[in-house]
């Protein structure tokens, strides 16, 4: 199936309301959820998230401490899901402003991260702060702080992608 537990979440066809059941359509693709009544194939697409590793004027790296699960109380760079029809770059700039109060200018792509069995594809940009005031700007953040490169909280990062992207950023910038 396209995700580890799709059958746990999707039970009925969006086309006719019939029951969905796993079925192999092509051996190379594995199981897909297929309507037993109308044969509609339900594809579960990944979600796209963006993150922004922000450099401050004194070369600090901005991280926010999460106020929500998963990863409550742990550190991440500002980021979140892209809205349908939104450009990735616009979403990265929006998420930075929403989560840490900073206006940013994107400097380049750090990398793209995806993981077997996980829903999001995470697109991470490097950016520099060009305005605003650093603070926990929404209900998703407990705290926002700029860390020196040598003082990043490696043992308190929220996600695998956070650590990988920070390492890639530090190697490139």
Question: Are 106 and 167 in the same domain?
Answer: yes
CATH number assigned to the domain comprising residue 68: 3.90.79.10
Question: Are 116 and 142 in the same domain?
Answer: yes
pLDDT, tens only, 19-58: 999 999 988 878 889 999 999 999 888 899 999 999 999 9
Question: Are 35 and 77 in the same domain?
Answer: no
Picking from 89, 94, 109, the residue whose alpha carbon sits closest to that of residue 165 is 109
Question: Are 19 and 76 in the same domain?
Answer: no
Question: Are 91 and 135 in the same domain?
Answer: yes
Give me the number of domains the chain comprises: 2
Is 64 part of any domain?
A: yes
Give the whole-angstrom CA distance, residue 56 versus residue 67: 23
CATH number assigned to the domain comprising residue 37: 2.20.70
Question: Are 55 and 38 in the same domain?
Answer: no
Question: Are 101 and 153 in the same domain?
Answer: yes
Of all residues in the chain, the percent with pLDDT exceeding 70 is 95
In the predicted structure, residue 89 carries a pLDDT above the cut 60: yes
In the predicted structure, residue 153 carries a pLDDT above the cut 50: yes
Average pLDDT (154-168) is 97
Structural domain of residue 27, as residue ranges?
6-42
| pLDDT at residue 8 in the model | 61
In the predicted structure, residue 94 carries a pLDDT above the cut 60: yes
In the predicted structure, residue 109 carries a pLDDT above the cut 60: yes
Planar angle of CA 47, 31, 25, nearest 5 degrees: 115
Is 57 part of any domain?
A: yes
Give the whole-angstrom CA distance, residue 97 versus residue 160: 23
Question: Are 84 and 130 in the same domain?
Answer: yes
> 14 phi and psi, to 5 degrees?
-75, -15
Question: Are 21 and 81 in the same domain?
Answer: no
Q: Using pLDDT thresholds of 50, 70 and 90, give the confidence band for residue 1.
A: very low
Average pLDDT (130-159) is 95
What average pLDDT is seen over the chain?
92
> 33 phi and psi, to 5 degrees?
-85, 125
This prediction's pTM: 0.83
Lowest-confidence segment of 1-15, 63-77, 136-150 by average pLDDT: 1-15
Is 1 part of any domain?
A: no
27 vs 91, more confident: 91
Strands (E), the chain: 20-26, 30-35, 41-42, 47-55, 61-66, 75-76, 79-81, 102-113, 120-132, 141-147
Question: Are 12 and 33 in the same domain?
Answer: yes
Do 80 and 161 form a contact (C-beta atoms < 8 A)? no
């Amino acid at each position: 199936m396209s995700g580890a537990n799709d059958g746990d979440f999707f039970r009925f066809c969006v086309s006719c309301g019939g029951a969905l059941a796993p079925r192999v359509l092509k051996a190379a693709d594995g199981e897909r959820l297929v309507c037993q009544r109308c044969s509609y194939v339900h594809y579960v697409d990944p979600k796209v998230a963006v993150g922004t590793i922000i450099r401050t004027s004194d070369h600090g790296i901005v991280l926010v401490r999460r106020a929500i699960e998963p990863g409550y109380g742990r550190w991440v760079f500002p980021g979140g899901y892209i809205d349908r029809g939104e450009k990735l770059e616009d979403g990265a700039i929006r998420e930075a402003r929403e989560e840490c109060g900073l206006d940013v200018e994107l400097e380049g792509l750090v990398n793209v991260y995806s993981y077997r069995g996980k829903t999001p594809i995470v697109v991470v940009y490097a950016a520099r702060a060009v305005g605003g005031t650093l603070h926990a700007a929404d209900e998703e953040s407990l705290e926002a702080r700029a860390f020196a490169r040598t003082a990043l909280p490696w043992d308190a990062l929220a996600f695998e992608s956070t650590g990988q992207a920070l390492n890639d950023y530090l190697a490139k910038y």
